Every structure is written in C-alpha cells, then in structure tokens.
Amino acid sequence: MDRTTQGWIAGLIGVVIFSASLPATRVAVLDFDPVFLTVARAAIAGLLAITLLRGLGAARPARADLPSLAIVALGVVVGFPLLTALALKHVTAAHSIVFIGLLPLATAIFAVLRGGERPRPAFWLFSGLGSALVVGFALAQGVAASPVGDLLMLAAVLVCGLGYAEGARLSRRLGGWQVISWALVLSLPAMALLSIITMPRTFIGIGVPAWIGLAYVSLFSMLIGFFFWYRGLAAGGIATVGQLQLLQPFFGFALAAGLLGEPVTTAMLTVTVAVIACVAGARRYAG
C-alpha cells in the first residue's frame, strides 16, 4: 500500500472519530460550563499525553518547533474546542455540523500559507463553491435567530484550519501522535490551572451523558483522533486529505439524530450532498 493511500485511510479514521465530537460536546455543555469543558478536556488529554510520551520514550521537540506547537495548541487544543462549546450554547449539534463543511477550504488555505502546497485553480473553484453552499445554508436557516452561534462556529473553523495545517506540516518531521501530544503538554500547565479555577462547586446534578461526553472529547476528540488525522494529512497531502472532512456531516447528522434526537432536515442533507460533490471535484484538481 503506497503512502498516499495510507494517508487517506488514516485521514478517514480520524474523520470518523471527530464526527462524534460536536454531538458529544453538545451533551456535555448541557451540564458543564463551556469554558470548564474546554480546559478540562485539554488537561485530561495532556496528562494522558505525558504518560504516552514518557512510556514510549519520545524525544523532545527542538526549540525551533515550539512556535509551531504553540499554534497547534492555540488552534486545536484551545481555540476550536472553546469556540464550538460556546457556539453549542446557541445552536444545535446538527446545525453546527454543517459548518464543518468550511473546514476543508480553511485547511487548504493554510496548507498553501503554511505547508507550501499549490493546488490547481480548479481546486479553489470547487472548494469555494462548496463553502458558499455551507454559508448559504446558514443564512437560509436565519442567522438573525442565532448570529452569535454561527459567528462562533465560523471562528472555530478558521482557527481549526490553521491548527490542522500547522500540525500536519510539523508531523512530517515529528510524527502525528507526537505533534498533538507535545501540543497538549505545552498547554497543560495553563489548562490544569484553569480547570481548577473554573471547576463547578459541586458535581451533584451532572448527568451520566455529560460525563460520557467529557470522556469522549478528552480521549478521542482531543488525542486519539489526531493520531490518525495528522498522519493522514502529512502522508496524503494537507489540502487533498483535508477534503475528507466533508464526510463528517454525514456521520455527525446520524449521531445527532440517533443520540440526541435532534431533527435532521432535508435541507441539511441536500446541502451536504451538494458540498461533497464539490469536494469530489476539488480532489481531482488538488495536485
């Protein structure tokens, strides 16, 4: 199996894992404060990362890698989880999942700016059209009803795209699991302190679903998913494998409907199908 195929397989596994992130976050923020959820998941994942790095005897990153690791930490350890947790106070998980349709374009843009990739012009045409469909869907749903939630999701997509591209670029040297692990370790002191400061006075009344949501986003969304995702982006190309994120709404819609009982409208499914058709075209002209 060639390196590119391995990259696509690893990337797909990462997408499947990430697909449950927004529904799990939606469940968790019903009982947990969004800020506490963000810092707690990062702190838990950071402790696991330290154990993993020490257990496997991973070498420390070079000093020159620290700025890139800081960008990864700000983008995917803090920025995306916090902004999505805040957004899910205003919008449903099913609605927020549609915004994931913007992630491939954001990731591709940063792949050019940070990763040195150069997709062909037709790639941008298809990616831009797909993103326009997503934004159009948000407007059609009535942004006036929840402008804060939609703006928070757009900001989350932007910082996440940067974190994905920067982490993938660094993974070419360090390896995918080392990048996310060291980014978590770098942010651990601040996340641990903030976890203590924002911790609820009592955990009485916190439901089992919220605890399960916290466990999922800490272990899978914040750590294991990135092992596969960064490996896939580094091996198969940031812009091209990044297009797999358009499959995420399908998985996410199913989880939002099955686990949370949220309505999945025909418009949501129609937009997703149309966007994925655009991604198929973008993939063809990525290189």
Nearest to 76 by CA among 204, 233, 201: 233
CA distance 67 to 225: 22
pLDDT digits (tens, 9 = 90+) for 88-122: 888 877 677 777 778 888 888 888 888 778 888 88
Nearest to 28 by CA among 206, 154, 195: 206
Answer positive or negative: Cα dihedral of 161, 92, 274, 248: positive
Both structure tokens of 222? 């914040």
Q: Give residue limits of the domains in the chain.
A: 3-284
What pLDDT does 99 receive?
A: 79
CA distance 84 to 189: 22
Distance of CA 280 to the CA centre of its chain: 21
**Residue 68 pLDDT greater than 80, yes or no:** yes
CA distance 150 to 139: 9
Q: What is the CA radius of gyration of the chain?
A: 18
What pLDDT does 142 receive?
A: 60
pLDDT digits (tens, 9 = 90+) for 177-205: 999 999 999 999 999 999 999 999 888 88
What pLDDT does 115 receive?
A: 76
